[in-house]
């Protein structure tokens, strides 16, 4: 049940989530399509001329960024993803050798890759930090590729969304984060009460016959405030949150709305900048600027 094996199994269809022609036909909501639009917008506004990505997948997003005239490079832990990524880069007229095969949790490999690839105006990681065991080490790895004054874009699974799901994720958030310091006697009473109030049998775990489904590998949520403090501790300022993958109703009742109407409602909310995204969105990006001294 390794992270690499999960993404090996996703490599052949990975690009579908970014295909605009499939945003109505894909079974899953195309959240990452809107994430890519957001990333390209933020990079353009930052004036970045070069970008390094940790965890490129099949490089569909990176190739899109490269088509904006930005020099791109990156890495991935999945051999299949790296194979597709190199082919994708080449088909877009980009350097396939800019893609490295490595584990972002291997500090020696990161150091060697930094020596090879150099320094960049921006660094990004989309869908990677849920799969690492040490947040500080991972942010340090991102920071290594970024020049002073550069832009960091760090995606995370948003734990605050659990306050809107009214299911087992809500229970886990309340017990493991809000009440982490409460006496066990109190936590037991709360847990019993929540079992009666919430749909604790939902959502179903995402599994595969091979035992490497998304919920069978390390796939953590992050508290945005705590993750922001980690980023700031490395010498970053002008930190802001950007939200995506909106839910106009809590997911377990979404089926009571016409599917096309519900998806349209989701898409209409994308790009919103209010505080509501912190609770209505299952994912977000931290944008921050690296100090110059």
Domain that holds residue 124: 3-160+208-290
Angle among Cα 293, 145, 99 to the nearest 5 degrees reads: 165
One domain for residues 229 and 276: yes
One domain for residues 138 and 252: yes
One domain for residues 43 and 80: yes
The pTM (predicted TM-score) of the whole model is 0.97
Domain count of the fold of the chain = 2
One domain for residues 145 and 173: no
One domain for residues 126 and 223: yes
One domain for residues 175 and 60: no
Question: Long-range contacts made by residues 132-141, C-beta under 8 angstroms, separation at least 24?
Answer: 132/104, 132/105, 132/218, 133/105, 133/218, 134/105, 135/222, 135/227, 135/230, 136/230, 136/233, 137/105, 137/107, 138/54, 138/104, 138/105, 139/230, 139/231, 139/234, 140/234, 141/54, 141/104, 141/107, 141/110
One domain for residues 151 and 188: no
Reading the chain (293 residues) residue by residue, the pLDDT tens digits are 689 999 999 999 999 999 999 999 999 999 999 999 999 999 999 999 999 999 999 999 999 999 999 999 999 999 999 999 999 999 999 999 999 999 999 999 999 999 999 999 999 999 999 999 999 999 999 999 999 999 999 999 999 999 999 999 999 999 999 999 999 999 999 999 999 999 999 999 899 888 788 889 999 999 999 999 999 999 999 999 999 999 999 999 999 999 999 999 999 999 999 999 999 999 999 999 999 98
One domain for residues 72 and 193: no
Beta bridge partners of 125: 154
The residue out of 180, 202, 224 marking a domain boundary is 202
Spatial distance between the Cα atoms of 271 and 37, rounded to a whole number of angstroms: 9
Q: What is the DSSP letter of 232?
A: H
One domain for residues 216 and 174: no
Q: What is the DSSP letter of 176?
A: I
One domain for residues 175 and 101: no
One domain for residues 118 and 99: yes
CATH code where residue 21 lies: 3.40.50.150
Q: What is the DSSP letter of 129?
A: G
Q: Which residues of 50-88 are buried (b: 16+ CB within 10 A; e: fewer)?
A: bbbbbbbbbbbbbbbbbeeebbbbbbbbbebbbbbbbeb
One domain for residues 248 and 105: yes
């Amino acid at each position: 049940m390794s992270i690499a094996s999960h993404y090996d199994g996703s490599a052949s269809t990975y690009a579908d989530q970014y295909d605009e022609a499939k945003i109505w036909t894909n079974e899953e909501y195309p959240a990452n399509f809107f994430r890519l639009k957001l990333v390209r917008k933020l990079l353009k506004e930052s004036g970045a001329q070069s970008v390094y990505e940790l965890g490129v997948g099949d490089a569909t997003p990176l190739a899109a960024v490269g088509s904006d005239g930005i020099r791109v490079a990156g890495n991935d832990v999945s051999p299949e993803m790296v194979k597709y990524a190199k082919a994708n880069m080449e088909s877009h007229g980009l350097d396939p050798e800019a893609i490295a095969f490595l584990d972002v949790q291997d500090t020696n490999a990161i150091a060697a890759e930094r020596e090879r690839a150099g320094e960049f105006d921006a660094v990004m990681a989309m869908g990677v930090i849920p799969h690492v065991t040490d947040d500080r080490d991972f942010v340090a790895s991102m920071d290594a590729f970024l020049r002073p004054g550069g832009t960091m874009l760090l995606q995370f699974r948003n734990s605050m969304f659990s306050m809107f799901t009214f299911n087992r994720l809500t229970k886990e958030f309340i017990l493991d984060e809000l009440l982490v310091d409460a006496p066990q006697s109190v936590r037991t009473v709360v847990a019993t009460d929540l079992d009666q109030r919430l749909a604790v049998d939902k959502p179903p775990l995402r599994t595969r016959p091979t035992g490497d489904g998304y919920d069978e590998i390390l796939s953590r949520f992050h508290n945005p405030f705590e993750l922001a403090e980690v980023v700031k501790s490395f010498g970053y300022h002008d930190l802001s949150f950007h939200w995506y993958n909106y839910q106009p109703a809590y997911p377990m009742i979404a089926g009571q709305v016409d599917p096309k109407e519900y998806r349209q409602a989701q898409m209409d909310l994308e790009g919103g900048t209010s505080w509501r995204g912190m609770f209505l969105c299952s994912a977000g990006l931290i944008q921050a600027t690296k100090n110059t001294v």
